[in-house]
Chain A
């Protein structure tokens, strides 16, 4: 079901993709980094700022994503981490304007992209930036690659649409991008079909296509989850390299705390549709505050040091419609108390570091309570 849905969404994206007109005409069409108009690079302004995004699907009694806020700057990588079903993918699709219009109900929210404000329901305006100023890659590359077309044609077409350049120029760019993502003999590979490539190669092709128009923002939804660790390391490295080169902002969605530790500059920990902890990566790993973040970290077996019995988070994530009121983690939280029936604010604990728990910081509040 879910797979079918994503497939439909992406088809939708491809259709939009084909009908929309690139906004950026000023870019020079040269291989390599495309130099932008300087005014877009205002360093104080975050590239993307999301405020209190909240929506539900038709027929559901609870919001699937509730009041989530975060920001991403140029050259920064925000990791959204959480277990399956916590709303990571739908958040990404919302930012891309890819949620099915007729079944989603936005409660509130504002998306500011490079200073310009969008209502999350403003699908058309958001769609105009998609594939151009912002791009997305998926866990399963075949959601963006069409099995019936040669990979070279697919990348070139994406370039041509947004750049309004000629066919020859677009193909040149496609070859260059394939080379950039580490595909050997790119001229020959241009003529191959997706099924002729391995999983890791397809992932590279999808990245080449997403980045062909030099997006300012890349949203990557579990791009390495299906890959082996040695290939995952190559892909993460590739994304980091491309980011260093182009200065794009990146949102990396993952359930793997290891991946987060490796690449994040900032982290948003999501549980059941809420951001429960948010802050710089170092603070999240070395000074975690929220009981869910702590439980998640304690559940991961360690690769070094003594082996101890794993801590767990008891139970499992409740379904939509069964979420407890107030703090949604309260049905699994070992510290839950009556006050947790009211929703805790995502309050600042240290500069830039926020946690949504009535008892944060636990070491001070709970030791006192005990």
Chain B
């Protein structure tokens, strides 16, 4: 059964820029007509390059921003215009994890206060002692120790701070968590710890996860379905495996072929893009990608492509995706030539040893303090 937990329809957010006395105002179309559906229990990913509107979309979905136009439904209820009590309730059911573990935590609050604060807001019935207990439970859920409650954010590493941010998000027992680049600021070895943690929490706590990222490898690893954004719009969406194996939109193809993969000597055909993303204040006419698209034809500059069904599960916004697919072999990635036999044994030894020394990934963070 695919039950929709969160749905956006024709969502837009336009910002006015500049416009001092006598100055011309510019309209920044940060999100410009996005429709997505997130299913209960899945991990849904939003991917795209800097400035394409990912964070703005996330803030709209969370109702941290008010949409210029369009509808948002959470569990079948329209939330685009709610305020006051309804909004507070929404904040309980839907939580946010930020990118930057360094600036998103108030440095003057102890970890106990940081995690206790949302408990106090969303579950005011709890006594002080119950709250302390709940903080301790949440800290161990994210792989920290109850004693950490008395320490301050600066005493923790980046990965640990991100765990604190996650504990805060979990405090209200949300049904949906939106992470805006939740692992992007972390070093890869620590990123892997947090990726595993999110994965475990999701299945244990029965949550739905919306992950925003620009790192396609992280997206592929974590998500069930994905939406690819370009200049404020979704250009392709569908099951992650399908899109990675067989991208249909030229932008998705270019994005996938541009990622350098950590494997030696893989032959690849790169679909190079010229130039950079145009400004969302002056999006190109017709297909917004036509200024950089290697397959663009004349009418792409005037005709706007709709996000239409490509298969039962996936959608693409390109006039010519069928012709492009017919002319090209599948543009997905192929695995690299392998490791030496000795190296394979070394990787196996490493994995066995890390599991032996850290029986559960959550205890990984305990090891250091």
A residues whose Cβ falls under 8 Å from a Cβ of B: 83-84, 198, 200-201, 228-234, 236-237, 255-262, 281-282, 284-289, 291, 294-305, 307, 309-317, 331, 334-335, 361-364, 366-367
Contacts and interface: CB of A to CB of B under 8 A. Distances in A.
B357 A314 contact: yes
Interface in B106-155: none
B159 A316 contact: yes
A286 B259 contact: no
Nearest to B358: A314
B196 interface: yes
Given A232-B258, A261-B264, A312 B218 contact: no
B261 A258 contact: yes
A83 B187 contact: yes
Contacts of B192: 298-301, 310-313
Given A231-B276, A311-B350, A314-B367, A282 B264 contact: yes
Contact of B264 (A228, A234, A281, A301): A281
Contact of A230 (B158, B195, B254, B262): B254
B258 A295 contact: no
A286 B349 contact: no
B329 to A, nearest CB: 15
B157 A294 contact: no
A299 B262 CA distance: 11
Contacts of B342: 287, 361, 363-364
Given A301-B195, A312-B361, 14 more contacts: A229-B258, A230-B254, A230-B258, A260-B262, A261-B264, A286-B338, A286-B340, A294-B350, A298-B347, A299-B188, A301-B221, A303-B217, A303-B256, A307-B221
A199 B357 CA distance: 44
B364 interface: yes
Interface of B: 49-50, 157-160, 187-193, 195-196, 199, 214, 216-218, 220-222, 244, 254-256, 258-266, 270, 272-274, 276-277, 333-340, 342-343, 345-347, 349-351, 353-354, 356-358, 361, 364-365, 367-368
Contact of B336 (A201, A304, A335, A361): A304
A195 to B, nearest CB: 14
Given A230-B273, A294-B346, A261 B260 contact: yes
A119 B220 CA distance: 48
A287 B277 CA distance: 39
Contact of B340 (A84, A233, A287, A294): A287
B351 A311 contact: yes
Given A304-B334, A315-B368, A257 B262 contact: yes
A272 B367 CA distance: 18
Contact of A233 (B158, B218, B272): B272
A301 B260 contact: no
Contact of A367 (B277, B345, B365): B345
B356 A334 contact: yes
B189 A313 contact: yes
27 contacts: A200-B276, A228-B49, A228-B50, A230-B255, A233-B258, A255-B187, A258-B259, A260-B262, A286-B343, A294-B350, A296-B188, A297-B347, A304-B333, A305-B335, A307-B221, A312-B190, A312-B354, A313-B189, A314-B354, A314-B364, A314-B367, A315-B365, A316-B157, A331-B368, A362-B345, A363-B343, A366-B349
A366 B342 CA distance: 12
Q: Is the interface of A mostly helix, strand, loop or mixed?
A: helix
A361 B343 CA distance: 9
Contacts of A302: 217, 220-221, 261
A228 B214 contact: yes
A294 B347 contact: yes
Contacts of B364: 312, 314-315
Contact of B217 (A289, A300, A364): A300
B193 A312 contact: yes
Given A287-B340, A295-B350, A256 B187 contact: no
B343 A288 contact: yes
A365 B365 CA distance: 29
A296 B188 CA distance: 7
B260 to A, nearest CB: 3
Nearest to A307: B221
B221 A258 contact: no
A314 B361 CA distance: 9
B339 A286 contact: yes
A128 to B, nearest CB: 36
Given A311-B354, A315-B364, A299 B189 contact: yes
Contacts of B345: 362-363, 367
Nearest to B48: A228
Nearest to B240: A307
A300 B273 contact: no
B271 to A, nearest CB: 9
B261 A261 contact: yes
A296 B347 CA distance: 11
A334 B189 CA distance: 14
Contacts of B261: 258, 261, 302-304
B362 to A, nearest CB: 11
A301 B220 contact: yes
B295 to A, nearest CB: 15
A288 B346 contact: yes
